[in-house]
Amino acid sequence: MKKGQAAIEFLITYGWAIMAAISVIGALAYFGLTNPSSSLPDKCLFSNAFECRDYYVNSTAIRVKLVNSLGESIYQPNTTINITSYLTDNTTINCSTTNAAILEPEGSIEIICRNMTGTPFTNGDKVKTRISVYYANRPGGYSQVSLGEVYATVQ
């Protein structure tokens, strides 16, 4: 006569456990702890030839300071920046650089992108920026590329 009692007790016990787990997940989501973009730190990483010394992102400009860590002179550094944010699609922007003819070892260049249209950054947004710096090892040499990424909070 009591064959169903074990099944009912099983379902009730695990039902409470599942409800508790759903409540905890709901509380974490409510307080924003499940959003990885809010918990990831700002960073600036570059591959060969350049070291990222400083970066700044606001609603109208992106600035990145790079240092030549190749150990030899770099000729004609030109940049292309691909901006990815959580609000916009990929946008490719050509930006200006300082000291664009020859970059001596340990010399620095600053990449500046201003008056960006179509990139509605607002304060507090996380923006991922991919930067490609094209350069040559010697005058008239083959083009090399150094890839970098800036992940920053809009100031």
pLDDT digits (tens, 9 = 90+) for 106-148: 888 888 877 666 656 778 888 888 888 888 888 888 888 888 8
The DSSP secondary-structure symbol of 42 reads: P
| Residue 90 CA from chain centroid, whole number | 12
- Joined together, the tokens standing for residue 30 give 């409510």
Are residue 28 and residue 53 in the same domain, yes or no? no
Question: What is the per-residue DSSP string for 21-41?
Answer: HHHHHHHHHHTTTT-HHHHSP
Are residue 66 and residue 137 in the same domain, yes or no? yes
**pLDDT the model gives residue 26:** 93
CA atoms within 13 A on the CB side of 129: 32
Domain that holds residue 9: 3-34
pLDDT digits (tens, 9 = 90+) for 22-59: 999 999 888 877 776 667 889 999 888 889 999 998 87
CA atoms within 13 A on the CB side of 55: 23
Are residue 17 and residue 45 in the same domain, yes or no? no
Are residue 144 and residue 121 in the same domain, yes or no? yes
Are residue 25 and residue 49 in the same domain, yes or no? no
Three-state DSSP at 125 gives coil
User: Is residue 66's pLDDT more than 60?
Assistant: yes
pLDDT, average across residues 95-106: 75
Are residue 18 and residue 45 in the same domain, yes or no? no
Number of domains in the chain: 2
**pLDDT the model gives residue 43:** 92
Are residue 69 and residue 23 in the same domain, yes or no? no
Are residue 28 and residue 64 in the same domain, yes or no? no
Are residue 46 and residue 27 in the same domain, yes or no? no
CB-based burial label for 51 (10 Å; 0-12, 13-18, 19+): middle
Are residue 138 and residue 80 in the same domain, yes or no? yes
pLDDT digits (tens, 9 = 90+) for 83-99: 665 445 566 666 766 65
Are residue 84 and residue 24 in the same domain, yes or no? no
Q: What are phi and psi of 17, to 5 degrees?
A: -65, -40
Are residue 103 and residue 28 in the same domain, yes or no? no
